[in-house]
Homo-oligomer: A and B are copies of this chain.
Amino acid sequence: MKKKAAIVGAGVMGSAMTWPLSDNGYEVSLIGTHLDGEIIQSCKDSGFHPRLHRHLPDQVTPYFIEEIETALNGADFIVSGVSSAGARWIGQTIGPIIKPESKVITITKGLELNDNGELIILPEVIRGEFPLEIRDGVSISAVGGPCIAGELAGRRQSCVYFGCREIETARFFADIFRTDYYHIFITNDIVGLEIAVALKNAYALGVGLANGLLKKQNGPDRAGAYMHNMGAALFAQACIEIKIVLECMQANSDFAFSLPGAGDLFVTSQAGRSVTLGRLLGEGKSYTQALEELAGKTLESAMVIKKMGQAIPMMEKNGMINSDDLPFMRLIVNLILHENPLEIQFDHFFSDVII
Complex Cα spacing A349 to B258, Å: 10
Q: Does A77 belong to the interface (CB within 8 Å)?
A: no
Closest to A353 in B: B187
Identify which of B159, B225, B349 contacts A154 (C-beta below 8 A): B225
Question: A158 on the interface (CB 8 Å rule)?
Answer: yes
Q: Is B227 within 8 A of A151, CB to CB?
A: yes
The verdict on A157 contacting B233 (CB below 8 Å), with A151-B227, A350-B258 known, is: yes
**Nearest opposing residue in chain B for A188, CB measure:** B354
Q: Which residues from B are CB-within-8-Å of A350?
A: 159, 161, 183, 185, 258-259
Known: A266-B266, A353-B161, A353-B255. A229 touches B52 (CB 8 A): no
Bound-state Cα–Cα, A269 to B64, Å = 43
Q: Which 6 A-B pairs have the closest CB atoms?
A: A236-B263, A154-B225, A146-B232, A257-B257, A158-B229, A159-B233
Nearest Cβ on chain B to A186's Cβ, whole angstroms: 5
18 contacts between A and B (CB under 8 A): A146-B228, A148-B225, A151-B229, A154-B223, A159-B233, A161-B353, A183-B349, A188-B353, A188-B354, A192-B353, A231-B267, A235-B262, A236-B257, A236-B259, A236-B262, A236-B263, A239-B258, A266-B266
Tell me if A172 is interfacial: C-beta within 8 Å of chain B. Answer: no
Q: Is residue A264 contacting chain B, with contact meaning CB distance below 8 A?
A: yes
Which of A224, A229, A344 counts the most B-chain CB atoms under 10 A from its CB? Answer: A229
Give the interface SS of chain A, mostly helix, strand, loop or mixed. mixed
Answer yes or no: A13 CB below 8 A from chain B CBs: no
Q: What 1/0 flags go to A197-226 for Cβ under 8 Å of B?
A: 000000000000000000000000111111
Let me know if A187 and B354 touch, CB within 8 A.
Answer: yes
**A347 on the B face (CB < 8 A):** yes
Mask of A225-249 contacts with B, CB within 8 angstroms, 1/0: 1111111110111011001000000
